[in-house]
Amino acid sequence: MGLFNKDRRDGKYIKPQGSIAVLFPFIFDRRTDAEVSTTIDFDLEELCSWVDKQNKEGNLEYKMTYFQAILACFGKVFFNRNRLNRFIQNKRLYERDKITFAFIAKDKFTDNADEKIICLELDPKDTGLDMTHKMAIDVFKTKNEGKNDFDDTLKIFTSLPKWLLGLIVRFVKFLDKHGWNPKALTEGDTNYATVIFSNLGSIKSNSCYHHLNEYGTNSIVITIGTIKEVKGRRIVDMTFTLDERIADGFYFAKSVNMAQEIANKPELLEEKISAKYEYKD
């Protein structure tokens, strides 16, 4: 991008609408100052039943997990709610040209097990089933190969002496602020993902608040707890942490309600995740 071009390589500049939207990034200039967080119980009974049926009758190459199906629901939401794919950097509002979901996969559920970063770019031509299939492949490949390209990049930095590492990190943060970081430092980094998901249910834990970071462009973190049976229905707790500067509370609430409605109609995941879906309150 040119020196005076407001667009970034990873986002298009969006002119804020309304005086509050203009002032917000100046009043709350740090992402962590504009955090809002809430925990919501999601009813997954229909979605889980659909996953069970697909695994039994769908002739899938990889077994689908409930976690993957939940992410597919949110994939459809994010294609229909474009403000969720925005971020604020250097007091300016941007919208990404792609949607990426990030999460961590552990080799084993032990204290010392390696964590592998998974960053999935959502393809608008994919169905929800395609999306879950790609997630399964990415997890399988990353676990078996033991690393991804971003892991290699991190190892280069961590091998440096501390004084040099400190100088480089400060310089990288400067580049990040202006959108000048090279792809080698952003591709595969969860800090640049549209959403970071944490599947705490995999370790039998409830969801919890997770802070946002100042580095990168990520504006939304979602943690997912353990699925439990309540009055004969499978329920899961999810905690959302959001940068409220990218959209107002009404927009976020409607987006969460849309995710619940899609989970109640899982057959929607058999169509393209980018297909237009009208949610009515």
Q: Residue 31 in contact with residue 212, Cβ under 8 Å? A: yes
Q: What per-residue confidence (pLDDT) applies to 46?
A: 98
pLDDT in tens, 151-173: 666 677 777 888 888 898 899 99
Q: Residue 44 in contact with residue 227, Cβ under 8 Å? A: yes
Tell whether the model's pLDDT for residue 82 goes beyond 80.
yes
Task: Output the DSSP codes for 102-166.
Answer: EEEEESSSSTTPPEEEEEEEPPTT-BHHHHHHHHHHHHHHHHHH---HHHHHHHHHHTS-HHHHH
Residues of the chain above pLDDT 70, percent: 90
Provide mean pLDDT across the span 215-243: 96
Domains of the chain listed by start with CATH number: 36-86+98-270 (3.30.559.10)
Q: Residue 206 in contact with residue 224, Cβ under 8 Å? A: no
Q: Which residue type occupies 65?
A: T
When pLDDT is cut at 50, 70 and 90, the band that residue 21 belongs to is: confident
Q: What per-residue confidence (pLDDT) applies to 272?
A: 96
Tell whether the model's pLDDT for residue 92 goes beyond 60.
yes
pTM attached to this predicted model? 0.90
Residue 190: which of 244, 121, 253 has the closest Cα? 121
